[in-house]
A and B are shown apart, each in its own frame.
Chain A
Amino acid sequence: MTINAMKISSEAVTRVAYPVLGLLLLLLLWQGYIVLFDVPQAVLPRPLAVWNATINNLPLLLSEGRVTLLESVYGFLLAFFLGIPIAVAISSSRTLNLMFYPLLIATQALPKVALAPLILVWLGTGIESKLAIAWLVAFFPIVVDTATGLRSTPTEMLDLAASVRATGWQTFWKIKFPAALPFVITGSKVAITLAVIGAVIGEFISSNEGLGNLLLVANSQVNTPLAFAALLALAVLGMALYAVVAFVDIALKPWFSEVRH
């Protein structure tokens, strides 16, 4: 027992210690490179300068981060609540599937960034255009994964539904939809990350707020430590949002145990 417990805790230490060690090594290389080649701060700031810029601009980073956070989350939610009904429609109707699924796939060949200037023309420079871009990039994985999930219900489960004479409606809500949830989560994991990217693209094209905008402003003022601090904030934001979806994933563990193979 105690040996087992020790093994587990030493494993936990290893899992935390090694990534930290890796990060420290990278920071050391970064610092070493600057010192060795005498790189000016305007090109690449030292790690400590980035850290100081982060601490000194914390209120600014938080308020700009809040804007980007809301754009990402709203864009994701829009993609989620529009994507799932569309997935349900194309996976339950053969006609709709044949009509729109190939189109949906085809639109994916289009780089969404290319649409951003147009969206700006249509929706203006406010939050609407960022939402639209975030929605556009997050929408696809949710639709595709949900539709895949809805069409890969294990046949034995469908037999079970048939054997107890379940109606189509009952089969959908009590079997197909819950069985597709792991796929919905997988799609959401991809979508939430893409939503952040979409929001930043929107801010790049035109905006006067958000972390993307801050990044552009800091760049134009050759304030590279602040630009790096904004990047750091974006990374934290993306990871935090991903963690929320991953948490839902873990909470839904019973689904994952048997539905997906």
Chain B
Amino acid sequence: MTSSVAEPQSTPQEAGDIYGRFVGVRKVFGKQEGAMIALSDVDYELRKGELVALLGPSGCGKTTLLRIVAGLTKPSGGSVVIRGREVTEPQDDFGFVFQSPNLLPWRTVLSNVLFPMEIKGRLDAAAKARAVELLEHVGLGKFLKSRPHELSGGMKQRVALCRALIHSPSLLLMDEPFGALDELTRMEMHELLLGIRRLTGATVMFVTHSISEAVYLADEVLVFSARPGRVSDRIRIDLPYPRAASQRFTTAFSEYERRAGAGLGVLHHA
């Protein structure tokens, strides 16, 4: 691959330094009576360069946790410390990918990708070159001047991914980014994400409600249960890298899926 997409070099196997610490993170919506505990006392150590999947049913607080880490939502208690600093607001070296592509429809593909740089006042030739490079990397080199409404759902989400990566974030936060895509497009996006992650070495937190997606992508799966939202299981996924689609059909893979399913309560422990 080309040079500037690749930045820090560390393979997931070598990674492992602590990148972030979550201590007693909780979130309560509403007042005393009738208050809804969205997230209850999550403790976690996020290791550098790892991809952590937050897996759970809707309403289990996984998106709330992601938003707290992103600095978009304030926790009701506890703290999220990333690289030694408590997160109280969005950080410059975070990238966020939303559930919907969330592109600005009046901007071209290229200018959507450049949006964060424009806001940060870093809209220079280097930024433009990087944007073009990222878009070429995800196969959208021919669509720089297109408008979002001319693209398919998968293409839009690729643009959104490029936008999240434009400032070379050290932490990539993804909120069910592929949930709305069809199965085949989703599998393509998985390969793309794993590739980009291998190149950039970014730490990734990935919210999903798909068991197989979580197992296929992650180094570690945090399984959430609902009401109150809490982590019911932590599963290390020791499948070899690079992950390949054929691994989806191995016994080891099914075993991880079964355990995650049990954590979700959709399967009972054998």
Contact = CB atoms under 8 A, between A and B. Distances in A.
B9 interface: no
Contacts of B147: 254, 257
Interface in B68-110: 70-72, 89-90, 92, 94, 96, 98-100, 102-106
Interface string B102-145: 11111000000001101110000000000000000000000000
B149 interface: yes
A258 interface: yes
Contacts of A240: none
B268 to A, nearest CB: 37
Interface string A147-164: 000000010110111111
A164 B92 CA distance: 7
B148 interface: yes
Interface in A229-261: 252-255, 257-259
A161 B163 CA distance: 12
B72 A164 contact: no
Contacts of A160: 96, 98, 102, 115
Interface stretch (A17-25, A170-178, A217-225): A170-178
Contact of B149 (A156, A174, A178, A254): A254
Interface in A157-211: 157, 159-166, 170, 174-175, 178, 181
A259 B105 contact: yes
B91 to A, nearest CB: 8
A163 B92 contact: no
A163 B119 CA distance: 11
Contacts of B102: 154, 156-157, 159-160
Interface residues of B, number: 24
A242 B70 CA distance: 46
A259 B107 CA distance: 12
Contact of B120 (A164, A175, A181, A253): A164
Question: Which of B92, B102, B103 has the largest number of chain A CB atoms within 10 A?
Answer: B102
Contacts of B120: 164-165
A156 B99 CA distance: 9
A56 B190 CA distance: 74
A124 B105 CA distance: 47
A154 B101 CA distance: 12
A163 B149 contact: no
A165 B90 contact: yes
Contacts of B116: 164
A162 B116 CA distance: 10
Given A165-B92, A257-B105, A156 B115 contact: no
Given A160-B98, A175-B104, A258 B148 contact: yes
Interface of B: 70-72, 89-90, 92, 94, 96, 98-100, 102-106, 115-116, 118-120, 147-149
19 contacts: A154-B102, A156-B98, A159-B98, A160-B98, A163-B70, A163-B94, A166-B119, A174-B118, A175-B104, A181-B106, A254-B106, A254-B148, A254-B149, A255-B106, A257-B147, A257-B149, A258-B103, A258-B105, A258-B148
